[in-house]
Every structure is written in C-alpha cells, then in structure tokens.
Amino acid sequence: MADHFADRLCEAVNTKKTCLVVGLDPVYGRLPETIRSHRQMNDEFDAEAAVDAIFDFCTQVMRIVAPMVPAVKINIAFFEKYLWEGLETYYALISEAEDLGLEIIGDVKRGDVGHSAAVYAAAHLQNPELAGLEDTLAPDAITINGYTGADGIEPFAEVATQQGKGVFVLVRTSNPSAAPIQDIVDADGKATYERVADIVGQIADKPERIGKKGYSNVGMVVGGTAPNVTSTLRRNYDKLWFLVPGYGSQGASAADCVRFCKPDGTGALINASRSIIYAYEKPKYKEQFGSDWKRCIEQAVIDAKIDLATAMQTKL
C-alpha cells in the first residue's frame, strides 16, 4: 500500500470506482432490532452493553461496505458519549476497518493553539508507542478545525506528513448557520472561508506534502450544501482532496457534491452517514428487503454509488 495518504486515496477511489465514503454516526436507539434484542446488548443505559452493540453494528456495516467504498469516516462524538468505554470502541473499530482494507477518517474536529495542537496531533494521528496500547492504530486521517489559523493547523499537518497520514481542515461547513461567519466578505472581496482556504492551501502546498499523484495529504472539508458559494474552490486548490459532507440526509444532491471531483473521479470524498447506515428505516428498502437490515444497507450503498456516477457522467 502507498506510503502517502493522498496516493492511497487515489488507489482506493480507483479500485472501488467511487468517491462515496460511509460515515459511522451510531446511535443506540436506531440500531437494528436484532442487535438491540441480543441478551448481552439489550440495555441502552449500560455503558458496556451499549458500546458492545455499537461495535457489533459498526463492524457489520463495515464488512458490508468494505468491498464497495474506499473509506469510512468515524464520528468520534458518538463514541465520546460513552466516555473511555466509547473511546476504546472507537479505536477497536479503527483496527477492524484497517483489517478490511478501508481508509479510515477519524472525524474528530480537534483544534487548538500551537502547543496543544501538537499534542492533539500526536494523540490522534500517531500510532501509540506505549506499553499497554501497542496494538492500537490511529486513523489514516482526521478532520480538524482551523479557526486558530496557521499555527493551529501546521502541527497537525506535520505529524500527518511524518506518519504518512492526512488532515482535512474545516473550510466551509454544511450547516445552515455557517454563512453568517464563514461567508462574510472582507474589504478585498474575500469571504472568511476563503481566508481559511488560502491558509490551508499554503500549508498543503509544501513539496514534502505532495504525493506521487500530485495531491497533498492536507485537504479541506467543504459542505456540499452551498454549491453557489464554494464553486471556485476546486479550481483554486488543484492539489487538495475535498471531504464533502452533506450528501444524503443533509440535503446536498449528487450533482452538488461531484463538482468537487476531477474528471478522473479523484479529488473528492463524498460522505453519506445516516442515509446509508440507517437505510433499513426507510420504507423504500423495508418494503423490498423486510427485516434484512444488511441487505438494505448494501442496496443504499449501491444506489448512492449509481447516483454519484450518474451525476459524474452528466457533469463530464
């Protein structure tokens, strides 16, 4: 496997023939009945039972999706809910994902000023060299918040580069209230998110960060929900991967999202979380597959891949 995160992404996207990424945001109450009724996992208010159920569910989801998608994104918030029990589960899932050959994005959205940023970077990107934790792997990449500017971002980029890993910096988020902060335009006509993008772009551009395929290991998170706002980003930051949330439950269309892909299909990872992992709640799939929740998830991945591929065809 390639040593450079961006090269690995290119390989994975080419092999799986899609830019679709599956996001894991597991909520106990929404897990399939068969898992929740298991005698050792049937108590939402017992930390161990709950994390066992979540681990079981996520592992099964990853086994379904691994042959079909290049990467999974694991949202750590849903694990921190169970404190250290949850964090242990987050890391256990990273090992499972690694065994399944998936690229793993830890959606941790960390961020701090220099001194603490370096500590977060080592904690979340470096495999621990600690007795008692030596079998544990860190994810291939993480998401970070860049509001503190270059010296809050650089420490993450440095550790990622040393470790053959990657970083995605929040540039323009997919939520409704992003605009009043991120889209405000300054006297030079630049929006705040463009200022952040410039800083990320400069950090990404350093020669030691560029892989064989021409991409940097430092990328951006840009929501698919504001296509009119972010339409110039793909053109301006040719060497960056974009991680694009908002497809599916958050309302961005396939066409909105694939505009971040280059004609060869690389350059963007389009994330869908709830619309995939809870596909078995949707009448459309329930009617077809009944209580076979795995088949529902599989079909939702197939449908999303077709939807994105069709949008790519239309775009070209």
The residues of the shown chain that bind a second copy, judged by CB under 8 A, are 25, 43, 45-48, 50, 75, 77-78, 80-88, 91, 109-116, 119-120, 122-124, 128-133, 136, 145-152, 170, 173-182, 184-187, 190, 192, 195-196, 199, 245
Q: How far is the CB of 186 from a second copy (least distance, A)?
A: 5
Q: How far is the CB of 112 from a second copy (least distance, A)?
A: 5
Gap between the Cα atoms of 140 and 120, Å rounded: 15
* Cβ pair 112, 78 in contact under 8 A: no
240 DSSP assignment: -
Quick one: 12 or 200, whose CB is closer to a second copy?
A: 200
Alpha-carbon distances, residue 48 vs 55, 83, 175 (angstroms): 10, 11, 33
Q: Please report where in the chains the tokens 């080592």 appear, as a residue.
A: 122
If you write DSSP's letter for every residue of 63-87 in order, what string do you get?
HHHTTT-SEEEEETHHHHTTHHHHH
Active site residue 315: no
Sign of the C-alpha dihedral, residues 75, 203, 3, 117? negative
The catalytically annotated residue of 81, 109, 213, 294 is 109
Quick one: 66 or 142, whose CB is closer to a second copy?
A: 142
Quick one: 45 or 287, whose CB is closer to a second copy?
A: 45
Gap between the Cα atoms of 270 and 253, Å rounded: 11
Gap between the Cα atoms of 114 and 158, Å rounded: 12
Quick one: 75 or 266, whose CB is closer to a second copy?
A: 75
* Cβ pair 13, 19 in contact under 8 A: yes
Q: How far is the CB of 75 from a second copy (least distance, A)?
A: 6
Alpha-carbon distances, residue 66 vs 60, 78, 300 (angstroms): 10, 21, 14
Gap between the Cα atoms of 255 and 246, Å rounded: 12
* Cβ pair 112, 121 in contact under 8 A: no
Quick one: 81 or 305, whose CB is closer to a second copy?
A: 81
Please enumerate in sequence order all residues whose Cβ is within 8 A of that of 89, keeping only pairs 6 or more positions apart, or say none. Answer: 51, 54, 55, 79, 82
Gap between the Cα atoms of 281 and 248, Å rounded: 14
* Cβ pair 277, 61 in contact under 8 A: yes
Quick one: 101 or 251, whose CB is closer to a second copy?
A: 251
Q: Which residues are catalytic?
A: 109
